[in-house]
Chain A
């Protein structure tokens, strides 16, 4: 990580090596820094060999679900005569997450290169990069970089002189969080309302425009050229604890820390060090209260959990949450958990695509209840009602937005019940009369 802080000694900079270095943004600059060698190598390999290499590296999806990338690519049908598509999910809308933005801002060619490699692997000629609508600067940089790549023949009708066609199409979102969900993203590219689709069919069978499609996150794709250049074994070796989580990962840390920003560390890095050393620790006189480690869509961790967790897919799950997009929202003891949970619920109520009953009604209803509690109008039965509604909102809907709304509510009530009880105890109005 070279921006805005110089890299910390404990960081392992791979993706973020050139952050802060504007020279890396041009094609020439990127080639100077060793870029496009990975793509050149990839185009010389068969798609199957490419997929095996990525499988061997242990690379897992960086968008949230952590699905093994090579395996995902291998689901694409072979020789089916249909056009295949790659979608790059650059709709980074998860609260607290801002790693893809920096990749696009500083190393746009890393992403283009990764996309081109993936296209070759899955037999696609077209890659759509779906960029969050609010990312104006990253979009402009990507636009210039794509033009530059075309001009230099890295992509286009004859990518790197390989005779293979690889087109990169940039598509801007229009401000809907749900369009970061892979099937909603495809609907959005098709010009439809961004509603998630039911599965089956899965995207590898019928995705964008009904054709076999793979969707990868920006960070995932940006890592691919490095794996090709330095070998799967090297990448697999980047692991401090669980061998299922390999490589380096960018962590966006925000909230009540002294040095918020992106930090790139090897998988299995202690969370305590990430918060207290890399991110500069708490503000003077404050102590850590809670962390939401995976953007806003995962359960809260309390101080004990956070300080003992390891930063990888399994480590966070072990401590009662999920890695998600690795956006750390850190809260110190000044935070009001009831308000924070309300704020998150309100976000999801606003962003629900409103297809599924539980999500449309549940997000709005829970928000309303929490709002009421904050205004001193809670009722004794509210916590049970919230837990009941959250239960009904979990695992019942097409996508996980509804679950994402329920997660902070349920974990908030379980781990910080005292704060909710305090609101209820202070409640005015009908609740007090009881």
Chain B
């Protein structure tokens, strides 16, 4: 390795390293202000200048490559003098009066630390303070531009990390300032409130509003502790730091760029600003028992109405759909900023989404002993009287691996049934079914970071990445900026679709025809990877025959995409050389979801686009632990590692590990979410942990009706959700910030989230609750901590065998498979073979079938459902987060301009959207993202629940419902309907 002399010591450097890199690698600190990891280097602050022997003047350490035998002095007199002069120049226009006296004790930011370190004293100012755009009224990000030192980190972070470009430098000379878009309105400039600017600002000129409003300055500046955690939202699995003061999370920051974190320092708006929901006053702090349950002589009896039909002093979700809605805030360009006005007007925005007071009326507060004894008694009674098939549990993709493992262990070991499932059923279950069949795997083959590092063509199907997984979306945009080609198959014109080289905007549900046609064209054009097909796959000939009729011209008729575009996309895809394939709910949430994913996998395998760095297969996971919850067996057909429950050998192994007789474990596959919540299912009592099936399952009215008829229901959650209000026992659990656990993200990183704050009131950690309940149900549960549970998971899970808390803490994260304790993890899979019996991937021929419900004369529009940037699933968390909710406070239906015109609708008006199953009142948003004839309703809003309308037609393999396609009618409502 080459070397040079730094301050008299010879140090090595990586070829290409700058003086700064090399010095920092050796622990020599050179002050920097404008430099920041991953940002393009502009060397404009000039504080890092150092002396180099033989150079006529000082050189910037950040911009000068180290060279063999160079002699560098970082603390020479000229270098130090320059450093002081830079600080003095900057202080000349900085409100630094406090730094002349006691303020030096508490330097408030990076800049002030340097000022203090170099002993620069502020002088009388001759020049005015700096200015700039201030984002008035913004509830998440605000500016105090008098503190700006124009290092332009924020501009570059916005432009080059997030690829948004909201911020810029305007004017010149001393009038230079940072501006927000052309008119000062972040909305108009396309801001996504990711807070990257907040992260990189070295002076706090750009800052988060919420902490400053709610906590005192010193609490923010010098928190009691910083605790590493994992973001509780999407499957990207960003590592975050929780700042804790007085046992409250006051602020979230993202760690300095670290290679072993999936986010490499970034977060999106939810990760950075959506951390206040655990502090919401709706938090459950005491176990609740439904009035009517009474304990006599140590036994609980139901004294209420019999047979049970739950009632409440409230409206059902379906009824709420008819309530009048507030007008949505306008997003139209050309109007003055509106951001955050709701907060200012309302005093407390949280009032609007708070749990209605009457929801508590049917409950009484109880002790843990009461609640747990009731739950244990009823589960055991129903198991013993009606049989294990009468019990079921929903686990949660928001809970940790350990909690999911313990829950499935409890269901299998104590309930003695395999009826355990979680929301993967509503999300990637079809991907899992298809991938299991084709590749015997259920996770991404590659890593997110390889998309940026090594991928030439990115194919994104049915994924609105920039909104649903914004950190990953930004990575894709960076890859595109570096030259990767982008193909997007999506019915909506998403942000990435607008940037794409080819946007395949098909009609809803016609995916199979599209991917079959792409494959047909690839085969016909001789672009298929025959070596890969011959050596690594089986079944190609059948697929070749099956796709033969799907010419691009035929697909054009089905999908509505010009054949030329299909051909162009197919050629780009096949020519690669490294093509990565990404997909999400747009493919999976169909009654033919497994077929759709299979057709995509056929395409991928026929082109050999898997098993090397740069050719990744990534089903983008929605929840922070949907991957892990499935991996540890919270699914009805498999134990950990997807080992089938039907195999007696597996049963024996787990029975031994759990200390139960093998016969007590069921050999029958359990029921899936959508089979449980169904008229006539065998289930009579349920344990629900952190899920909200009433709102998340298709056809809400039916689902809610079913839940109300249950014999016994226990819900463990943070809030009294739409499901929890029908429960017999409600157990207050812990939020992500209050407990320790591991989470597995979309590219198989297992990461630890540490407990940062105590649970409020009597709420308990979910692990603690599960251990207690398991024991009460008679299942030996010797664990006392999450790490002990992980040790058991590692023992019974071959792919996780090398995982331990000790190792996770040392490494920061581990990408499984981790087969041995000294394995470093695996960045990409399938380099040589697939984990199938013969090592070959299976191609499976599939035929196009139209969606279960198509538009008709009565219901002429396609309805699509999904997520928005600022909200999360059923809104339990995000709608209780001040900043996030202020961005999207009310439900809206997105509709194409031509349709709005035809229906005579204007932005903000109220419409009634009806399907064959129900109807909701909802605001109108005219959107250029929708194709004519298609409308979009987000799933987050109770008061206009998208799932009142959706079609519960199920995929035959994975039992996912067709959330993405149903037919609706839209009528303008002049006078809001009566409640």
Residues of A near any B CB (own CB < 8 A):
176, 178, 193, 195, 198, 200, 349-358, 360-365, 368-369, 372, 392, 395-398
Contacts and interface: CB of A to CB of B under 8 A. Distances in A.
Contacts of A357: 44-47, 86, 89-90, 149-150
B172 A353 contact: yes
B446 interface: no
A176 to B, nearest CB: 7
A361 B169 contact: no
A396 B46 CA distance: 7
Given A354-B172, A361-B127, A361-B174, 6 more contacts: A354-B173, A355-B152, A356-B44, A357-B44, A364-B127, A395-B56
B92 A365 contact: yes
Contacts of A176: 172
Contacts of A392: 81-82, 85, 89
A234 to B, nearest CB: 35
A198 B63 contact: yes
A198 B59 CA distance: 11
B169 A396 contact: no
B57 interface: yes
Nearest to B123: A385
Interface string B144-174: 0000011010000000000000001101111
B60 A361 contact: no
B906 interface: no
B43 interface: yes
B216 interface: no
Interface in B62-116: 63-65, 81-82, 85-86, 89-90, 92-93
B176 interface: yes
Nearest to B151: A357
B46 A356 contact: yes
Contacts of A372: 126
Contacts of A355: 42, 44, 152
B921 interface: no
Most buried by B among A176, A351, A354, A396: A354
A369 B86 contact: no
A352 B173 contact: yes
Contact of B65 (A200, A349, A365): A200
- B interface, by DSSP: helix, strand, loop or mixed? loop
A354 B150 contact: yes
A67 to B, nearest CB: 15
B482 to A, nearest CB: 12
A351 B171 CA distance: 10
Interface of B: 41-47, 49, 56-58, 60, 63-65, 81-82, 85-86, 89-90, 92-93, 126-127, 149-150, 152, 168-169, 171-174, 176
A369 B126 contact: yes
B62 to A, nearest CB: 9
A368 B89 CA distance: 13
A358 B46 contact: yes
21 contacts: A193-B169, A195-B44, A198-B41, A349-B173, A350-B172, A351-B172, A354-B171, A356-B44, A357-B47, A358-B86, A358-B89, A360-B174, A360-B176, A361-B127, A362-B89, A363-B173, A368-B126, A369-B126, A392-B82, A396-B46, A396-B57
Contacts of B65: 200
Given A200-B65, A354-B150, A364-B173, A398 B44 contact: yes
A395 B58 contact: yes
A362 B88 CA distance: 10
Most buried by B among A350, A355, A368: A355
A361 B46 contact: no
A170 B754 CA distance: 61
Contacts of B49: 396
B172 A361 contact: no
A37 B424 CA distance: 77
A369 B124 CA distance: 13
A198 B42 contact: yes
A368 B173 contact: no
B126 A365 contact: yes
Contacts of B46: 356-358, 396-397
A330 to B, nearest CB: 28
Closest CB pairs A-B (n = 4): A354-B176, A364-B174, A361-B89, A395-B57
Contacts of B57: 395-396
B189 to A, nearest CB: 16
Given A358-B86, A362-B89, A198 B47 contact: no
B247 to A, nearest CB: 41
Contacts of B126: 365, 368-369, 372
Contacts of A362: 89
A396 B173 contact: no
Given A365-B127, A396-B57, A358 B150 contact: no
A360 B150 contact: yes
Nearest to B43: A198
Contacts of B47: 357
Nearest to A199: B63
A350 B93 CA distance: 17
A243 B819 CA distance: 75
Nearest to A177: B172
Contacts of A356: 44-46
Nearest to A362: B89
Contacts of B43: 198, 398
Nearest to A354: B176
B255 to A, nearest CB: 28
A185 B413 CA distance: 73
A364 B90 CA distance: 12
Given A198-B63, A200-B65, A396-B49, A361 B44 contact: no
Contacts of B176: 354, 360
B473 to A, nearest CB: 24
Nearest to A355: B44
A360 B173 contact: yes
Contacts of A198: 41-43, 60, 63
Contacts of B169: 193, 354
A392 B80 CA distance: 12
B82 A351 contact: no
Contacts of B90: 357, 361
Contacts of A178: 172
Contact of B89 (A349, A365, A398): A365
B174 A349 contact: yes
Nearest to B89: A361
Nearest to B62: A198
A395 B49 CA distance: 11
A352 to B, nearest CB: 5
A359 to B, nearest CB: 9
Nearest to A372: B126
A193 B85 CA distance: 27
A279 to B, nearest CB: 33
A356 B127 CA distance: 17
A245 to B, nearest CB: 21
B174 A358 contact: no
Nearest to B33: A357
Contacts of A358: 46, 85-86, 89
Contacts of A364: 127, 173-174
A358 B173 CA distance: 11
Contacts of B81: 392
B58 A396 contact: yes
Nearest to A194: B172
B44 to A, nearest CB: 4
B82 A396 contact: yes
Most buried by A among B43, B85, B150: B85
A357 B89 CA distance: 7
B821 to A, nearest CB: 46
Contacts of A351: 172-173
A84 B835 CA distance: 50
B173 A350 contact: yes
B121 to A, nearest CB: 15
A341 B403 CA distance: 74
A176 B45 CA distance: 21
A83 to B, nearest CB: 15
